[in-house]
Amino acid sequence: MSESTPITLEQAQAQVDQWIKTVGVRYFGELTNLGILMEEVGELARLLVRRYGEQSSKESDLKGDLSDEMADVLWVLLCLANQTGVNLTEALQKNFEKKTTRDKQRHQDNPKLR
């Protein structure tokens, strides 16, 4: 797929799986990928905190690419989903339903959000 062609979560999971099995040789173990996910989330957090929070930036932070850091997090999450048999499309749909049912009025009634 070209960079400009939108892909679904299902397609993303399949592409990651294909890449891992051809270029990446094999998946890292689930616990290794969990550690990598935490590392990638940390890199994303550092960039967000320094760009949008109060913490001062270092020279290296100014070159950070927010979209690339988010893509790194998504990549490892897709790997973990593949490894554990989670269909992220179905999981996200169920999550929307859960949040809609549970939070139908919750956020509407929150004066902090008005």
In a domain, 109, yes or no: no
- pTM confidence score: 0.87
> Would you tell me how many other CB atoms lie within 10 Å of the CB of residue 19?
13
Q: Is the pLDDT of residue 2 over 70?
A: no
Q: Is the pLDDT of residue 84 over 70?
A: yes
In a domain, 16, yes or no: yes
Nearest in space to 1 (alpha carbons), one of 14, 45, 59 = 14
Could you give the percent of the chain with pLDDT greater than 90? 75
User: Which two tokens mark 30?
Assistant: 């689930």
Q: Is the pLDDT of residue 3 over 80?
A: no
In a domain, 35, yes or no: yes
In a domain, 57, yes or no: yes
In a domain, 96, yes or no: no
Q: Domain of 83: which CATH number?
A: 1.10.287.1080
In a domain, 28, yes or no: yes
Q: What is the pLDDT of residues 104-113, one digit of tens each?
A: 888 888 889 8
Nearest in space to 38 (alpha carbons), one of 2, 80, 1, 10 = 80
| CA pair distance 83, 85, nearest whole angstrom | 6
In a domain, 111, yes or no: no
Q: Is the pLDDT of residue 4 over 90?
A: no
User: Which two tokens mark 60?
Assistant: 């290296």
In a domain, 104, yes or no: no
Domains identified in the chain, total number = 1
Instruction: Determine the structural domain holding residue 59 and report its residue range.
Output: 9-87
